[in-house]
Amino acid sequence: MAMQRIDFRNANGFPPTICIQLTNWCNLSCSYCRSNSSPHNKQKLNFEALRNLLFKLSEIGKWRVSLTGGEPFFYTDLKKLLNLIIELGFPFSITTNGYSTKNKFDTIRKSDWEAGTLCVSIDGSQEVHNLLRGKNSYENAVEFIKFVRPKVNRLFVNTVLFRHPKHWASELLVTLSQIGIDNWTIISPVKKGRWFTNLDIGESFLSQYQFIQNIAMGSLSTSFLDFAKTDSMLTDIVFIDSDNTIRLPGYFNSSLKGIKPLSKVINMEDENAFDQVVNSVHEFIKSENYML
- Rounded average pLDDT over 189-208: 61
Q: What is the pLDDT of residue 190?
A: 63
Q: Are residues 162 and 121 in contact, defined by beta-carbon separation less than 8 angstroms?
A: no
Residue 139 in any domain: the answer is: yes
Residue 5 in any domain: the answer is: no
- Rounded average pLDDT over 280-287: 71
What is the rounded CA–CA span in Å between residue 89 and residue 117?
14
Asked if pLDDT for residue 254 goes beyond 50, the answer is: no
Reported pTM: 0.88
What is the rounded CA–CA span in Å between residue 56 and residue 191?
35
The tens digit of pLDDT for each residue in 92-132 reads 999 999 998 899 999 999 999 999 999 999 999 999 999 99
Residue 193 in any domain: the answer is: yes
What is the rounded CA–CA span in Å between residue 199 and residue 203?
9
Number of compact structural domains in the chain: 1
∠ at Cα 9 (5, 12), nearest 5°? 165
- Rounded average pLDDT over 163-188: 95
Instruction: Provide the domain limits for residue 132.
Output: 12-291
Residue 3 in any domain: the answer is: no
Average pLDDT across the chain, whole number: 84
Type of residue found at 292? L
- In sequence order, the 6+-apart residues with CB closer than 8 A to the CB of 287 are 251, 259
Asked if pLDDT for residue 22 goes beyond 90, the answer is: yes
CATH number, domain with residue 112: 3.20.20.70
- Rounded average pLDDT over 213-241: 77
Asked if pLDDT for residue 259 goes beyond 60, the answer is: no
- Rounded average pLDDT over 50-65: 89
**Helices of type H across the chain:** 47-58, 78-88, 102-105, 126-133, 137-148, 169-179, 205-216, 273-285
**Residue 143, SS3?**
helix
What is the rounded CA–CA span in Å between residue 94 and residue 109?
14
Residue 2 in any domain: the answer is: no
Asked if pLDDT for residue 223 goes beyond 90, the answer is: yes
Residue 186 in any domain: the answer is: yes
Query: Which conformational region is residue 68 in: left (phi greater than 0), alpha (psi within -120 to 50 degrees), or beta?
Result: beta
Range picked from 40-54, 197-211, 231-245 for highest mean pLDDT: 40-54
Residue 179 in any domain: the answer is: yes
Residue 263 in any domain: the answer is: yes
